[in-house]
Copies of this chain bind each other. A is one copy, B any other.
């Protein structure tokens, strides 16, 4: 609120922004939320960048992809910029997420508060285990795989998190595509192949540890 009237509603359409930019956008959002919690009203590109180890110019260039959010001589108003970034990322509205695989990792995701805070909530879960189907975990109903199409349609779910064993990941991913999912967060250590219209983000925890191991073995300086 209290946005300047002459300020355009931004969002210069999807003029092909790189992945590097959007993941920094998420970092800016996180940092801005911390700043607000610490009582700051405004901040500068330099300050924001410094907290994340990047230059002020980088911050300004990134934001310039989507509009003009700053005030020369002042910086950025934290609350306003938070709102703008959320609008860009699409998290100004809540997202229902389907969790597939209620094993170890799946259950952790069900109970993870970090999602809720950023506008995501797990609405339903799916598993193959008959012992789980029909039960609720952390208040979330667990369905069998066969109910995927109807449940996802009924709840109008667009995003799914895939936490099943590597061996069945591709097959389950295909089912999810069939069920009309638009985006998939894959935790299984396999490279999935999906139709072009379905978006994919991969998280492989073993790979992250390997990156750490490499850095330690090669004693890289952090800068």
A211 to B92, CA, bound (A): 14
Also in contact, A115 and B203, with CB within 8 A (given A104-B108, A183-B215, A191-B51):
no
Also in contact, A112 and B120, with CB within 8 A (given A26-B207, A207-B27):
no
A195-212 contacts to B, CB under 8 A, are 196-197, 199-201, 203-212
A218 interface hit (Cβ, 8 Å):
yes
A90 to B211, CA, bound (A): 9
A223 interface hit (Cβ, 8 Å):
yes
A73 interface hit (Cβ, 8 Å):
no
Please name all residues of chain B whose beta carbon is closer than 8 Å to the beta carbon of A123 when the two chains form the complex: none
Q: Is the CB of B115 within 8 A of A191?
A: no
Copy tally for this chain in the complex stands at 2
A101 to B194, CA, bound (A): 35
Q: Is the CB of B107 within 8 A of A104?
A: yes
A80 interface hit (Cβ, 8 Å):
no
Please name all residues of chain B whose beta carbon is closer than 8 Å to the beta carbon of A52 when the two chains form the complex: 191
Please name all residues of chain B whose beta carbon is closer than 8 Å to the beta carbon of A97 when the two chains form the complex: 209
A75 interface hit (Cβ, 8 Å):
no
Closest chain B residue to A181, Cβ basis: B216
A6 interface hit (Cβ, 8 Å):
no
Would you give 21 A-B contacts (Cβ < 8 Å), ordered by A?
A23-B211, A26-B206, A26-B210, A27-B207, A30-B189, A89-B214, A90-B213, A104-B108, A105-B108, A107-B108, A114-B166, A118-B209, A120-B206, A120-B213, A159-B212, A159-B216, A161-B209, A194-B222, A199-B212, A200-B222, A201-B209
Also in contact, A213 and B91, with CB within 8 A (given A107-B108, A203-B203, A207-B23):
yes
Q: Is the CB of A91 within 8 A of B215?
A: no
Please name all residues of chain B whose beta carbon is closer than 8 Å to the beta carbon of A207 when the two chains form the complex: 23, 26-27, 30
Q: Is the CB of A158 within 8 A of B216?
A: yes
Q: Is the CB of B109 within 8 A of A205?
A: yes
Please name all residues of chain B whose beta carbon is closer than 8 Å to the beta carbon of A213 when the two chains form the complex: 89-91, 95, 119-120, 159, 183
